[in-house]
Amino acid sequence: MRVAFQGAAGSFSEAMSRVWYPDALRMACRTFDDAFARVEGGEADAAVIPLENSLTGRIGPATERLMASPLHIMREGTLKIEHCLIAQEGACLEDIRRIYGHPEALAQCRLYLERLGRETISWWDGAGAVQEVRADPSSALVGNAGIAASGGLAVLAHTIQDYTDNYTRFVALSREEASPTGRDKTTISFTLSHRPGSLVRALAVFDAHGINLTRLSSMPVREEPWSYAFIADFEGHADDAPVKGALSELSEVCAKVRFHGSYPRMVG
């Protein structure tokens, strides 16, 4: 099993990949595009991708890439995220002048970082900034405690995220589709024509087929300024008769519908 993930060794995405695929060959990727492309091109069998955080919401670049990909969601799960401030051994908080972190990590720790008042540098991954911190005693990074242990660094502060209960929802993506389990969820995206009531008509389809819509959010369509696509999660599998009927009807009332997978639903 070959599994791609965005980030460096020690990232939360790698941690989630170890939960799901403990014996896999892991492929660290610098960007979400790289991780998706590894699976799309056959170099990897699955990609572990973060889609949503309980503090900051949808992870835009990952969601946007999902909406353009032929890959299917195979499973979903959550990981509790505890961010730490990590620097060289022997460093003091007063010595720190700049802090590296993934944009999502910096956003999840916004209140702490604003109080600290240091320069923040958006980096492709917190774990990927280890070399920068090793080379500069006035630098630190935001990441999980494991980075300090594996990178020869030290934790200056634990649990620096804005709220203790901080969770990220991950999905595993594959070229294959998951079989029905009887407790499934489906993810689609769709666009609408600019006509009065078009969103109402689309949402009415779920009600007409007795489908529980569990999440709905919008994303800008980059190539069409001020146009938006919607991404929806709902209960049921694409092989279930109500879902089949709903997808067929949605294709008639929406400008475009894309299927992103049916997969076992998280419980709880």
- The one catalytic residue among 12, 32, 36, 170: 170
Handedness of CA 123, 48, 222, 194 (dihedral sign): negative
Residue 101 and residue 8 in contact, taking contact as beta carbons nearer than 8 Å: no
Question: Has 259 been annotated as catalytic?
Answer: no
Distances (CA, A) of 79 to 137, 166, 197, 201: 31, 9, 38, 36
Handedness of CA 48, 101, 108, 216 (dihedral sign): negative
Whose tokens are 């979903």? That residue is: 76
**Would you tell me how many other CB atoms lie within 10 Å of the CB of residue 110?**
14
- The one catalytic residue among 120, 168, 186, 187: 168
Question: Has 170 been annotated as catalytic?
Answer: yes
Whose tokens are 């502060």? That residue is: 157
Residue 100 phi/psi, 5-degree rounding, is: -95, 150
Closest CA to 128 of 175, 173, 86: 86
Residue 49, helix vs strand vs coil: strand
Region for 194 from its dihedrals, namely left if φ exceeds 0, alpha if ψ lies in -120 to 50, beta otherwise: beta
Residue 263 and residue 73 in contact, taking contact as beta carbons nearer than 8 Å: yes
| CA atoms of 260 and 162, how far apart (whole Å) | 31
Residue 27, helix vs strand vs coil: strand
Helices (H), 77-122: 103-108, 110-116
**What residues act catalytically?**
168, 170
